[in-house]
Amino acid sequence: MSDVKFRLPPNDGPVLSVVDMHTGGEPLRIVLSGAPVPEGRTLLEKRRWVRENMDWVRRVLMLEPRGHRAMYGALLVPSEEAEAQLGVLFMHNAGYSTMCGHAVIALGRFALDYGLVEPQGPETPLTIHCPCGLVRAFVSSSGGRSGRVRFHSVPAFTLCTDVTVDVPTYGKVVVDIAYGGAFYAFVSAERFGLDVCASKTRDLADAAAAVSEAVKAQVTIRHPEYEDLAFLYGTIITDGKDAYSEEPTANICVIADLQVDRSPTGSGVTARIALQYHKGLIQLEQTRTFKSSATNSLFTGKAIKETVYGDYKAVIVEVSGQAHYTGAASFTLESDDPLKDGFLLK
């Protein structure tokens, strides 16, 4: 069989070609071809159009049998911003996110390797238009090989601190909520009698999901500019080590339908840095290392300058990480397949 060349048999459905990567263990499936071009004048309009008219692409590529509960996707789309070399919509097991740091890190390598941006010395700048806004990435390379990527996201800020929510099973829980291109609730694992690095992932995920549902029901989320971005994306359970230290601080992020991020979560790191800066626990240019309690993979993050976003005092945060390729594939849909549209086991 070693000499047999694989090919898809003739079929009556679309063929979607993808490149698969991971950043710190968190997958990213980048759509190369086969998906329609979304309609809409702006990226947010395209995001709404995709959600309402071509959600089949997300279901086919994210869900089983072609994907899995933790699959994450990137659909490359035209951007209305002249300075953006890349426009992207992010997909997961339940819908479409507004920002994804691990995806930006992977897309940085991808854009350089696939010729979407011209290399410029040891570090190539790249502007990516995400639903939350323009994100500036910087892709390192050496000897013709792309490497580590750092990025500056949209202004990050703290929405509120010490908010008490009633969480079924867990009682009253005090959370902080911060924005790093997406809104997250933050709470220490200790509140649930758990250890973020030693407790069962399912126990941590259940607690995080319960907090997310409570926050969505009891706290009003407002974005300074766009209603489309005004929602809680997930909950991040931490080790509680928020004060500056050279030692890594661990967390686990749960989004969507119990989707556990395998990486330290790039947009979550952005929001957590903003929260720590807001509380006076870190200073500008103090680099912190963030560890995923799921895979022990590491991102670094630091606040590099103060700014404002609407009525909020904000910071620009730099996040850095490393992505790797895992493969490429072509997926097809056969009209007589009863599971062609994908499914997700509960």
Q: How far is CA 208 from each of CA 149, 188, 232, 274, 309, rounded to the nearest angstrom? A: 29, 10, 12, 20, 27
Residue 325, SS3? strand
Cβ neighbours of residue 321 closer than 8 Å, sequence gap 6 or more: 23, 24, 101, 102, 105, 148, 149, 263, 264, 266, 297, 298, 299, 300
- pLDDT at residue number 7: 72
- Out of 100, 130, 132, 253, the active site residue is 100
- pLDDT at residue number 88: 98
Instruction: Output the six-digit token pair for 266.
Output: 């790039």
Cβ neighbours of residue 313 closer than 8 Å, sequence gap 6 or more: 157, 278, 306
As a CATH number, domain 15-153+325-332 is: 3.10.310.10
| Backbone dihedral angles phi then psi of residue 284, each to the nearest 5 degrees | -60, 140
Task: Tell me how far apart the alpha carbons of residues 237 and 195 are, in angstroms, rounded to a whole number.
Answer: 10
Instruction: Output the six-digit token pair for 259.
Output: 């989707």
Asked if residue 109 lies in contact with residue 149, where contact means CB atoms within 8 angstroms, the answer is: yes
Give the CATH superfamily of 156-320.
Diaminopimelate Epimerase; Chain A, domain 1 (3.10.310.10)
Angle between helices 266-278 and 101-113 (to 10 degrees): 130
Strand partners, 116: none
- pLDDT at residue number 13: 78
In 3D space, the residue among 266, 27, 235, 35 whose CA is nearest the CA of residue 132 turns out to be 266
Q: Which residue has the tokens 């009633």?
A: 166
Q: Which residue has the tokens 């509120």?
A: 160
pLDDT digits (tens), the chain, 346 positions: 556 666 777 777 789 999 999 999 999 999 999 999 999 999 999 999 999 999 999 999 999 999 999 999 999 999 999 999 999 999 999 999 999 999 999 999 999 999 999 999 999 999 999 999 999 999 999 998 999 999 999 999 999 999 999 999 999 999 999 999 999 999 999 999 999 999 999 999 999 999 999 999 999 999 999 999 999 999 999 999 999 999 999 999 999 999 999 999 999 999 999 999 999 999 999 999 999 999 999 999 999 999 999 999 999 999 999 999 999 999 999 989 999 999 998 7
In 3D space, the residue among 23, 48, 223, 176 whose CA is nearest the CA of residue 103 turns out to be 23
Task: Tell me how far apart the alpha carbons of residues 248 and 321 are, in angstroms, rounded to a whole number.
Answer: 14
100 is catalytic: yes
Domain ranges of the chain: 15-153+325-332, 156-320
User: Which ranges constitute the DSSP H helices of 114-168?
Assistant: none
pTM above 0.85, yes or no: yes
Residue 58, SS3? helix
Please indicate whether the domains covering 15-153+325-332 and 156-320 agree at the CATH topology level: yes
